[in-house]
């Protein structure tokens, strides 16, 4: 009987405890921190998503495919993004922590700078790396999309 009670207790703890993985936000993540740390924040329509060849990357970096995202810039909220991209992400395969980006969709992009020691092979001609905790696709409804972008404008104006 004790072993069955223990089994239910263990299952309950597993089911009802918060889960985290390598790609989830850190414990000290906040919306304000996301806005402050982003190099660029902008709204854009994605025109092309292209997997980049991984020649010249380290064995660790080759585990994930780099993806370059090209876009039509619609509105800049922070920074100086290029008019058409690219910006980069990983695919989301096996912990790549990438942002799934689809051509033909509007996004509110939060772009982080590359780390100081990032190689030219990693950077490519990309202006930065898409934040996987803050970037979001925007709804097809212009009214709903504008509400999200408006909230972002308000947040940025606070700092």
Considering the chain, what percentage of its residues have pLDDT values greater than 70? 71
Distance CA 120, CA 114 (A): 10
- For residue 12, is it within any domain? no
| Residue 147 confidence class, pLDDT cut points 50, 70, 90 | very high
- For residue 17, is it within any domain? no
Q: Is the pLDDT score of 19 beyond 80?
A: no
| Residue 71 confidence class, pLDDT cut points 50, 70, 90 | very high
Distance CA 38, CA 21 (A): 22
For the stretch 148-151, contacts whose Cβ atoms lie closer than 8 Å and that sit 24 or more positions apart, written own/partner, are 148/108, 149/43, 149/75, 149/77, 149/108
- For residue 15, is it within any domain? no
Contact 92, 21 (CB under 8 A): no
- For residue 14, is it within any domain? no
Domain of 36, CATH number, reads 2.40.50.120
Q: 0.95 cut: is pTM over it?
A: no
Q: Is the pLDDT score of 24 beyond 90?
A: no
The residue range of the domain holding 49 is 29-157
- For residue 1, is it within any domain? no
The structural domain count of the chain equals: 1
Mean pLDDT of 71-76: 97
Q: What share of the chain is helix, strand, coil (3-state, %, to 5)?
A: 30, 25, 45
- For residue 118, is it within any domain? yes
- For residue 39, is it within any domain? yes
Specify the pLDDT at position 93.
57
- For residue 6, is it within any domain? no
């Amino acid at each position: 009987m004790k072993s069955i009670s223990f089994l239910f207790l263990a299952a309950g703890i597993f089911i009802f405890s918060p889960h985290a993985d390598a790609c989830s936000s850190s414990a000290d993540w906040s919306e304000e921190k996301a806005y402050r740390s982003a190099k660029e924040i902008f709204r854009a329509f994605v025109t092309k998503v292209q997997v980049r060849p991984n020649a010249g990357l380290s064995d660790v970096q080759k585990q994930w495919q780099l993806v370059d995202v090209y876009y039509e810039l619609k509105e800049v909220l922070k920074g100086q993004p290029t008019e058409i991209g690219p910006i980069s992400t990983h695919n989301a395969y096996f912990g790549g922590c990438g942002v799934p980006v689809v051509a033909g969709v509007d996004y509110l992009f939060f772009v982080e700078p590359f780390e100081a020691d990032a190689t030219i092979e990693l950077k490519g001609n990309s202006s930065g790396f898409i934040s996987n905790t803050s970037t979001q696709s925007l709804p097809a409804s212009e009214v709903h999309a504008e509400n999200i972008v408006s909230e972002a404008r308000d947040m940025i104006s606070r700092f």
